[in-house]
Amino acid sequence: MKEVLKIAIQKSGRLNEKSLGLLKECGIKINNGGKLMSSSSNFPLEVFYLRDDDIPQYVAEGVADIGILGENEVLEKDQDVEIINRLDFSKCRLSLAIRREESYSDLNWFSGKKIATSYPTILKDFLEKNSIDAEVETISGSVEIAPGIGLADGIFDIVSTGSTLLANGLKEVEVVMKSEAVLITNSKLSLTKKNLLGKLLFRIQAAKGANQNKYILLNAPNKNLDAIIDLLPGMRSPTVLPLAEKGWSSIHSVISEDDFWEVIDQLKDKGAEGILVCPIEKMIV
Ligand code: ATP
Ligand code: ZN
């Protein structure tokens, strides 16, 4: 039987759509299969839909070859899996928070206190490393209400914008870890599966590159060409084409999403006109 790569993704929740989106950006078509599993019509891949909490164990045991989940869940479950790629989505942080009216000095505030969390492994590890002796109360959901109902003095939970903390009268006092979606695997892959994973990683890289970059076209006076080229290094170097109008050129290049607004301002300062910025479908460097 032909070997296929088995990937575990979240069944429903914050990571489901983005995980499927990533596979789509990799050109992988997923058939509308069953609730538990579906396969691809154009890549040797089977997709398993699981709770994110179960993904590390399934991958560690080799039921799935790879998985997509939050780095926080990987650390919390502490299974024998390896993070092989960071995926740039579902970014959040895990933080300690306390009641807004409390005055906070430093981590010692938590000594002898009770902290509610759904991430006891990460929290205990952090407390131990910092020699803080606090009691960890493990609860599975709605951690943010624990201080308000007297269940704990503080919480350790996922924060993205901080609005949930605010709504519950809490303030963030320590960021313990930053997290994003990651791709994990085990050390049991056959050579065939390793090759398939290599192909998938190549496509993921191309999709990530495309998401992180834009294609930019602009017109510039020739006298400022050098200055503009310095601002737009491109993949090797920008393309420069003469315009029909004398003394002007069209410049094409690739620009990082992160640098985008800052560079645009500088380009305008150097006389750039007619700037077009387009999305990139795939980028292979
Ligand atoms: P499941 O039913 O699969 O157990 P869950 O309730 O544990 O799902 P979700 O709330 O869907 O998990 O979150 C999945 C992951 O998304 C988290 O482990 C974390 O990495 C990330 N995440 C959680 N909350 C946020 C947020 N507010 N912003 C960004 N990423 C987040
Ligand atoms: Zn979960």
What pLDDT is attached to residue 205? 96
Which of 135, 154, 189 finishes a domain?
A: 189
Query: Based on the domain organization, do 173 and 52 belong to the same domain?
Result: no
Q: Give yes or no: residues 185 and 70 share one domain.
A: yes
Give yes or no: residues 120 and 168 share one domain: yes
d(CA 22, CA 26): 6
In a domain, 203, yes or no: no
- CATH number of the domain within which 217 lies: 3.30.70.120
Mention every residue, 6+ apart, whose C-beta is less than 8 A from residue 39.
Answer: 4, 30, 31, 33, 45, 46, 47
The answer to whether residue 63 is domain-embedded is yes
- For residue 53, the CA-to-ligand 2 centroid distance in Å is 5
Is 247 among the domain residues?
yes
Query: What is the C-alpha separation between 96 and 244, in angstroms, rounded?
Result: 61
pLDDT tens digits for the chain (285 residues)?
A: 789 999 999 999 999 999 999 999 999 999 987 789 999 999 999 999 999 999 999 999 999 999 999 999 999 999 999 999 999 999 999 999 999 999 999 999 999 999 999 999 999 999 999 999 999 999 998 999 999 999 999 999 999 888 999 999 999 999 999 999 999 999 999 999 999 999 999 999 999 999 999 999 999 999 999 999 999 877 788 999 999 999 999 999 999 988 888 899 999 999 999 999 999 999 998
CA of 114 to the centre of ligand 2 (A): 23
Q: Which atom of ligand 1 is nearest to the CA of 10?
A: 3
Instruction: Determine which helix (DSSP H) or strand (DSSP E) holds 278, and give its type and residue range.
Output: strand 273-279
Is the residue at 165 inside a domain?
Answer: yes
Q: Which ligand is nearest to the CA of 69?
A: 1
List residues, by chain if needed, whose CB lies under 5 Å from ion ligand 2: 52-53
Helix (H) or strand (E) holding 205: helix 191-212
Backbone angle region of 91, left / alpha / beta, with phi > 0 → left and psi within -120 to 50 → alpha: beta
Output the ligand 1 site: residues, CB below 6 A: 10, 13-15, 51-53, 70, 72-73, 90, 92, 158, 160, 179
- Residue 196 counted as domain residue: no
Structural domain contains residue 267: yes
Ligand 2 centroid – CA 177 distance (Å): 17
Determine, yes or no, domain membership for 232. yes
Atom of ligand 1 nearest to the CA of 13: 11
Tell the residue nearest (CA) to atom 7 of ligand 1: 52
85 with 112, same domain?
no
d(CA 66, CA 6): 6
Residues 185 and 54 in one domain: yes
Residue 25 structure tokens: 């950006």
- The residue contributing the CA closest to ligand 1 atom 27 is 160
Question: Which ligand number lies closest to the CA of residue 13?
Answer: 1
For residue 183, the CA-to-ligand 2 centroid distance in Å is: 16
- CATH code: domain of residue 66: 3.40.190.10
Q: What is the pLDDT of residue 187?
A: 95
CA 190 to centroid of ligand 1, rounded, Å: 31
Closest atom, ligand 1, to C-alpha of 71: 20
Assigned domain for 197 exists = no
pLDDT value of position 234: 78
Residue nearest to atom 19 of ligand 1 (CA): 70
Number of separate domains in the chain: 3
Whether residues 127 and 59 share a domain: the answer is no
The pTM assigned to this predicted structure is 0.90
* 118 phi/psi in degrees, rounded to 5: -100, 0
Is the same domain home to 68 and 99? no
**Domain check: are 185 and 78 in the same one?**
yes
Regarding whether 149 and 220 lie in a shared domain, the answer is no
172 and 245, same domain (yes or no): no
Same domain, 101 and 175: yes
Q: Which domain holds residue 139?
A: 92-179
Residues 113 and 57 in one domain: no
